[in-house]
Amino acid sequence: MRHRDAEVVPASVLADAVGRTPLQHYVLWTGRPAIGQPGSLRSRAFGCVHEVGVPVSLRVLLQRAARLDGAAGLNPDVVRNGVRLHQAARPTVVILLERRSSGEFVTVTDIPHAGALHRPLRAGEVVIDARGACRLDLFAHAA
């Protein structure tokens, strides 16, 4: 299957997309590979998250993905939609979180198959507490 090529994302398009992305949204990678087609937009976007178990700002992910191949990359709206759609994947390995003012990171939406848990997470469930400790065993080393 042929996948879409990287495209030149104009700075104005990237700036607009980043500006529309909530400051408190983060992604957390469990360290497991995403199930899907190698070379797909989703797998290429998720490949921009290198930190396992560390929340990465969704804004940072959009910026990294937009400059995937130097001047070319992935459209920020496609990346954002890919993250949202992935929340229903089996298993979900890139989890969309919201950082609360307390410092806790909670799930943005229900996640039917989260990481190594083999159980659903509900929207608003605490994944990382205010001290920075992960409350759940989501990561690849857990299997």
Q: Is 2 among the domain residues?
A: no
Q: Is 88 among the domain residues?
A: yes
Residues listed for the chain: 143
- 106 vs 98: CA distance, rounded Å: 5
| Structural domain span for residue 91 | 7-142
Q: Is 102 among the domain residues?
A: yes
Residue 105, Ramachandran bin (φ over 0: left; ψ between -120 and 50: alpha; else beta): beta
- List Cβ neighbours of 70 (8 Å cut-off, separation of 6 or more): none
Position 1 confidence tier, pLDDT thresholds 50, 70, 90: very low
Q: How many domains does the chain contain in total? A: 1
> What pLDDT is attached to residue 32?
85
Q: Is 66 among the domain residues?
A: yes
Q: Is 112 among the domain residues?
A: yes
pLDDT exceeds 70 at position 2: no
Instruction: Give the pLDDT confidence of 32-70 residue by residue, as tens digits.
Output: 887 777 777 778 888 899 999 999 999 999 999 999 877
- 78 vs 82: CA distance, rounded Å: 6
Instruction: Give the pLDDT confidence of 90-141 residue by residue, as tens digits.
Output: 888 899 999 999 999 999 999 999 876 677 899 999 999 999 998 877 776 6
- The gap from C-alpha 135 to its chain's centroid, in whole angstroms, comes to 18
Structure-model confidence comparison of residues 15 and 43, the more confident one: 15
Q: Is 1 among the domain residues?
A: no
Position 143 confidence tier, pLDDT thresholds 50, 70, 90: very low
φ, ψ (nearest 5 deg) of residue 25: -90, 135
Q: Is 126 among the domain residues?
A: yes
Kindly list the distances between the CA atom of residue 95 and the CA atoms of 5, 49, 103, in Å, as whole numbers in the listed order. Answer: 25, 11, 17
DSSP 8-state secondary structure symbol assigned to residue 10? -
